[in-house]
Structure 1
Amino acid sequence: MTDRTLQHRRVHNLLLIQKLLSVRGDSSPFTLVLDTIEQTAKPLISHYIHNAKSSKTDIVFISFETIKPPSNITTFIKARRKDASTLQKEISTIISPNKRTLLIIDTLHPLSHDPTHPLSTFLSIILTPTTSLLATYHTDIPLPPSPTNPYAPSPLTNLKYLATTIFTTHSLDQILARKRAADKSQPEPVFGLAEEKDGVLVGMGANGCKGLVVEMEHRRKSGRGVEETFFFPVVGAKEKIVLLDDYPAFRREDERDGKVGAEGGKEGLSTFDLGITERQRRDREGVVLPYFDAQSGEGGVGGRILYDMGAEDDFDDEEDEI
């Protein structure tokens, strides 16, 4: 990838992620966040709340598993042990048709296996032209098959189909560990449940305090998809959101130290010197190449091959003279 292409990708995708976080216009009516026990979506939700508050957007937090209301939200709804119909009516009374509102659902699992009220119907009712939805789905919590139709697609499949933006969270420390192993051509390490060890639920480096890695898939109205991976720092940190390829700890050491030379190549990427000294250049010019004498004849006579016969050669006089 050329520097110009990388710069265009960097500027374009960073502007896009800022637009999504600020909930400006109808950039993404339904944003789905996929997280695991290895990396919770709470830091990403904090970024949404921080940016929505700056843009003076009402924030309605619908809680199924969150006990303490997050700071800087407008309304906190306790949805635990409420059916979809009751929750839908409560949300409708709070949403203002004249002001932009961000709905945040901390988990979709209680709504995903409700046979009396399909999840797609619930989402279509609470979404309005002035409302944006940010919902979290825990991918490591299994759901039982549908009792009415065992051949129906899973709730996660339906959610991925309905969402206009999909965020997948990853642990920063675990991503860096896999990157170091890949750079050394070593097997990638596994963490948490993938280790298949008794008593191990969360792996080393899970839910780190430095930030997280967010994989984005955004679908435009034209149908064209935009995919990118970002580093998200903790809200309030001095660091900024950058592409994962630009994060210093993720880049290889030779890429961090390499500098662009005068001819556009990268210096410092090789372990040996590609240049030659003045003495080496003079010695190279003094070397006589094989059959060099054949090129010293007069012009117009064509090339000649000089060959000295040995005692073991059998020369045939009838062949054409070379």
Structure 2
Amino acid sequence: MPPTTLQHRRTHNLLLINKLLSQRDATSPFTLVLDSLEQSARPLISECMRRAKLANVHAIFVSFETLRKPRDADVFISAWNLTLLAWQKEVADALKGRQSPTIYHLDIPLPIPPSNQNAYSPPPLTLLKYLATTIYTTHSLHHVLARKAARERSVVEPSFGLEEGKEGVLLGLGANGREGVVLEMEHRRKSGRGVREWYFLSPPPPTRRIQAGGVVAGGGKVGDGRGEVVLLEDHRLYRSPEREGVSGGEGGEEGTFELGLTEKQRRDREGVVLPYFDAQKGGGEGGRILYDMGSEDDFDEEEDEI
């Protein structure tokens, strides 16, 4: 990919993820988040609510497992202790916009469908993926790095948690790390064209609080409380050493392979004598072939004269 096109893709996808997380201009009316035991969607939902609060967006939190109201939620609905019609009515009464992030837990088994259900009806997850305009799949950074290292060594990628198939194992090592969450995003535009990208969302740094009298309390950086989103390929642990060497050079990232030569290779190249090189010296003498006979050549002068 040319450097200009690559830079345009990177800039465009970073602007897109920030626009989606801030829920501006109704970019994604229905956002679906797929999480698992290995990586919870809690960091992503917290980031969405923080940005919604900064943008003065009304946030409604419908809880099926959370007991306490999140700090940045404007309305908290405990759907786990209400009937289906009751919590639907509360959501309809509190709803002011049409933007709706929804979490689907991949590791929770579905109940057995009733016998009178249509056999050709799609599963709930398939229907949600069809209706969603943006789909996030959360991954653990530790697991992503382990799978990448296995691919580079051309070995089988490791499995974690329930995928290991071991009795009694629910969570793998490195699950739900505090360093951040890896997001696999699929966004569908109105034109039908899809955008796929991998990101890394880091938690927000601790902010400083200015007390009365101008005294700064607490450590960290002065910020608005938002987490930092970067492309996964730009993460310092995910980036390959070869790419770091190319990007750290003077020429930058200009291609998929390096054409530069070392000083020794350059001297060796200059010392190579090409065949018929002497015939190229001096123009206007016509074409000729220069050949030096060796002792192994069987040459007869009389036969050559004939």
**Structure 2 length-normalised TM:** 0.80
Give the root-mean-square deviation of aligned CA atoms. Answer: 3.2
Question: Using the alignment, how far apart are the partners of 1:320 and 1:170 within structure 2?
Answer: 83
Correspondent of 2:144 among 160, 166, 175: 175
Q: Does structure 2 conserve the Cα–Cα contact (< 8 Å) formed by 1:145 and 1:154?
A: no
SS class of match (2:121): coil
Letter in 2 for 1:228: E
Identity of aligned residues (%): 49
Q: Does structure 2 conserve the Cα–Cα contact (< 8 Å) formed by 1:46 and 1:235?
A: no
Aligned residue number for residue 174 of structure 2: 205
Question: Using the alignment, how far apart are the partners of 2:76 and 2:20 within structure 1?
Answer: 22
SS class of match (1:150): coil
Q: Does 2:142 align with 1:141?
A: no
SS class of match (2:23): coil
Give CA deviations for 1:275-322 in whole Å, capped at 9, x if unaligned: 2359x73x765665445566679844422353648788598x99998x
Correspondent of 2:121 among 124, 129, 152: 152
Aligned residue number for residue 274 of structure 1: 261
Matched residues, number: 283
Q: Superposed, which structure 2 residues align to 1:1-322 within 5 Å?
A: 1-96=1-96, 130-143=97-110, 144-145=112-113, 147=115, 148-236=117-205, 240-259=228-247, 261=249, 274-277=261-264, 281=267, 288-292=273-277, 299-304=284-289, 306=291, 308=293, 313=298
Give CA deviations for 1:131-154 in whole Å, capped at 9, x if unaligned: 211110011222234531122111
Letter in 1 for 2:16: L
Of 84-93 and 217-226, the range deviating more from structure 2: 84-93
Give CA deviations for 1:201-252 in whole Å, capped at 9, x if unaligned: 1101100010010011111111111111110112446762100011111101
Deviation at 1:77, TM superposition (A): 0.9
Question: Using the alignment, how far apart are the partners of 2:282 and 2:295 within structure 1?
Answer: 24
Letter in 2 for 1:57: V
Question: Using the alignment, how far apart are the partners of 1:320 and 1:68 within structure 2?
Answer: 107
Deviation at 1:260, TM superposition (A): 5.7
| Residue segments in structure 1 that go unaligned for 5+ positions in a row | 97-129
Q: Does structure 2 conserve the Cα–Cα contact (< 8 Å) formed by 1:146 and 1:152?
A: no
Deviation at 1:184, TM superposition (A): 2.7
- 1:262/1:199 CA distance change after superposition, 3 Å: closer
Q: Does structure 1 conserve the Cα–Cα contact (< 8 Å) formed by 2:246 and 2:252?
A: no
| Residue segments in structure 2 that go unaligned for 5+ positions in a row | 207-220, 222-226
- 1:83/1:306 CA distance change after superposition, 3 Å: same
- 1:296/1:256 CA distance change after superposition, 3 Å: closer
Deviation at 1:13, TM superposition (A): 1.3
**Structure 1 length-normalised TM:** 0.76
Give CA deviations for 1:14-55 in whole Å, capped at 9, x if unaligned: 111111111112111110000111001011000011000111
Give CA deviations for 1:74-108 in whole Å, capped at 9, x if unaligned: 11111124333222222222234xxxxxxxxxxxx
